[in-house]
Every structure is written in structure tokens, then in C-alpha cells.
Amino acid sequence: MSSLGTPAPSSPASDASAASEAPDASAASAPPGWEGPPVRDELRGKSPYGAPQLDVAVRLNTNENPYPLPEPLVERIAERVREAARNLNRYPDRDAVELRTGLAAYLTRTGGYPVALENVWAANGSNEVIQQLLQTFGGPGRTAIGFEPSYSMHALISRGTGTGWISGPRSEDFTIDLAAAERAIAEHRPNVVFITTPNNPTGNAVPSATVLALYEAAQAAGPSIVVVDEAYIEFSHGDSLLPLLEGRPNLVVSRTMSKAFGAAGLRLGYLAAHPAVVDAVQLVRLPYHLSAVTQATALAALEHTDTLLMYVEQLKAERDRLVTELRAIGYDVTESDANFVQFGRFEDSGTAWRRILDRGVLVRDNGVPGWLRVSAGTPAENDAFLDAVRELKKEQNA
């Protein structure tokens, strides 16, 4: 999940080093005068989303859950996958009924609002959920708006689906400037509105009153589909906005199993919405898009929800410790309801990123001028990070 809506690199240095290691295979085989493939105009000059990894002791740059899955869950995954493997000669359940039923039960239990099978759709990561929403409600001649800096994939997938992208305003403290946002919606009349809460990369949550106001503005100007991206909601100090679905058929709440469930490698995202929205999204889904193995693994994870959410509580405590310690050291810190913390301010965030990396800790330079982002890791990883930024502060004050 940059202020211009283009995917930001981990840092200028890391992207440069990654690029230098890759040979330019196309250059050797290209005919004279060839200027490259005929990429669509709105994609020319753009960079793919990515966070190049480096071989360092502490990697806190991609908002992963640092705890491996517990062994009983690993065993249960193996059992379910073994069962699924016996029928891999057949296509998987196209509608993922068992999985969507399990996800609906999880949302009902933890989200404070009753959700049924017909309210839920699942796909390969929340990014495919976003893509399907934009394929359905965006597209050529239509537009989407997000309030940046925010999750850069909203803009990237919009462009990839031929949807025009509008960069909406945020205040200097990274909250959504409600009056300015309402004016932008009224002016541009977007077909899709993205509200990320907790916001990535800044970490702050969006109050429910703001979401309600933006929903009403979008319906008055549109009507528009309003997507509340709750990828990090399990780490929030507050509650999910799932209850706002009541009486709002154009509202969608998007989730993922990558963060709280510690299943980034699974690639399972899902949404909750009015059944008519779920039905509409299925018009663009690829046939049998969720493999039998993915469905089996996700179902096993849902069986161990309580254990996995205990790890979430540990990460919330570590996140809060990072906020306290960073402020005590002398850094500015954005309030965080996610599993990461945005801290600064730096005259040159790229240089600060490099100085921290030199001490064996990899954080993220998301392209927000003057700020860096660190994922909450294990206590030992967080200690190493705090030692590195203490040394950096001393260096800066020398």
C-alpha cells in the first residue's frame, strides 16, 4: 500500500542497487530504432510497485507480521492442503462458498456487525479485490479519488484499469481535510472513492464521522462506490467501520489476511458489501480465480483466529512502545493505528534511511518528504531499530 500516487521505492539507494544487479536482457535483442513495446500512455514512465529486499539482520520495511505461523496451524494447513490435493484434477469451488462463509463468521464476531455469505467476496490479496472493484465500477471514462499520501496501489491499479486517478488532499498532519475533500468530490464527481483507515504509510485512522461525510458527498455527486480499505484494522485502537455498511449500499469494506493473520505469503484478500456489489464484482472475476490450495490454507487460518489475534495484541503493544520510545528520543511521530509507525522529520529522508541501513536495520522510505516508516517487529528487532535511530539522532545532533 507517494504523494503523487506513484509507487514509491524503498529508497533511492535500494532501488538503484536492485536495478544495477539486473541485466538489461531487452537491450541485447532489441532491433535498431526500437523504442520499446507500445505501452498505454497512462502507464509510460511509471514504476511497478515493490519493496526491494536487502540481506540485513533486521527487515522492518514491508509491514509483515514478524511471527511465523504457530506449529498447530502449520499442521492444520498441511492437513487441509493434503485433502485439497486429492482433487486437484478438478477445478476449485468457483464461488469459494465455504471460505466466504468462514470470513463472514469472522467479520461478524470481530467487526461488530452481522455479515452473511452474500455480503462477502474473496480474491488473491486485497490488491485483486481493489482491481476487481475498479474493473467493475471504474474503467475508461471514469475516475477514482484517494487522499494522499496513501496506499499507492490504489492509484496504480486505477491506471492499470484505465480509470482516471485524482489525488485528493490531506492536511499537514496527514488527516483528511474534510472540507477540501468534499469540494474535490463535488468538483470531480469520481466514480470510486478510496478511504484508507488506518492509512498507509502514515498509520493514522480516519474517524467514522469523516467517512460518513465523504460517503454522503460521494452519493450527492455520483452516486459513487466508496471503498474503506481496512487492511490494518486489527491493529487499531478503535473499532472497524464495518457497521457503517448498514443502509449504505454503495459502501465497501476491504480487508486482507496478510497482516493480522500473518499470512502475507497466502495472498488472500476479501471485502464486505451489499450483495448487489458482490454480484457485480463477479462479472469481472477470472474463472476459478482462487485456487483450491489457497482456499484450504485460508480456511485453516480461520480455525486458529484466536491464536493469531494474540500475536496481534503483542504487535500492538510493540507498536505503542515504538511510538513512545521514538518520541522520547526526539523524533516526530504520526499517531498510529497500524502495525507500523511513521517517524521523522529529516532534512533528507534518503540519507537517514541509508544511515539506519548502515546499522543493519531496513526501514521504508515511502517518498513522503521528511519521513520514514518502520514496521513493528519482534521485541528484539524493535530494540535493534531503536538503538540504530538513537545513534542516528546523536549523529544528527553532533
Q: What is the pLDDT of residues 321-343, one digit of tens each?
A: 999 999 999 999 999 999 999 99
Task: Say whether both 227 and 341 belong to one domain.
Answer: no
Encode pLDDT of 359-385 as tens digits: 999 999 988 999 999 999 999 999 999
Encode pLDDT of 245-285 as tens digits: 999 999 999 999 999 999 999 999 999 999 999 999 999 99
- Domain final position from 285, 303, 321: 303
* Overall number of domains in the chain: 2
For range 346-358, the mean pLDDT? 96
- Whole-prediction pTM value? 0.89
Task: Say whether both 173 and 316 belong to one domain.
Answer: no
In a domain, 244, yes or no: yes
Task: Say whether both 202 and 238 belong to one domain.
Answer: yes
Task: Say whether both 336 and 253 belong to one domain.
Answer: no
pLDDT at 24: 52
- Domain final position from 247, 282, 303: 303
More confident residue, 397 or 212: 212
In a domain, 333, yes or no: yes
393 has pLDDT over 90: yes
In a domain, 60, yes or no: yes
In a domain, 366, yes or no: yes
pLDDT at 3: 34
Encode pLDDT of 222-246 as tens digits: 899 999 999 999 999 999 999 999 9
Task: Say whether both 183 and 296 belong to one domain.
Answer: yes
Task: Say whether both 293 and 230 belong to one domain.
Answer: yes
CATH number of the domain that residue 320 is part of: 3.90.1150.10
Task: Say whether both 105 and 176 belong to one domain.
Answer: yes
Among 6-15, 95-104, 202-211, name the one with the lowest average pLDDT: 6-15
In a domain, 26, yes or no: no
> Which structural domain range is residue 377 located in?
45-69+307-397
Give the closest residue to 372 by CA, choosing from 203, 228, 144: 203
Query: Taking the C-alpha atoms of 348, 354, 358 and 359 in order, what is their torsion angle to the nearest 10 degrees?
Result: 60
Task: Say whether both 133 and 238 belong to one domain.
Answer: yes
For range 104-125, the mean pLDDT? 97
Average model confidence (pLDDT) across the chain: 92
39 has pLDDT over 90: no
Task: Say whether both 238 and 156 belong to one domain.
Answer: yes
In a domain, 25, yes or no: no
pLDDT at 46: 78
Grid cell digits, residue 180? 477540501
In a domain, 97, yes or no: yes
In a domain, 165, yes or no: yes
Task: Say whether both 52 and 151 belong to one domain.
Answer: no
CB 322 within 8 A of CB 376: yes
Encode pLDDT of 4-29 as tens digits: 333 333 444 443 333 334 445 455 57
- Domain final position from 303, 328, 353: 303
CATH number of the domain that residue 194 is part of: 3.40.640.10
47 has pLDDT over 90: no
Task: Say whether both 296 and 337 belong to one domain.
Answer: no
Task: Say whether both 278 and 314 belong to one domain.
Answer: no
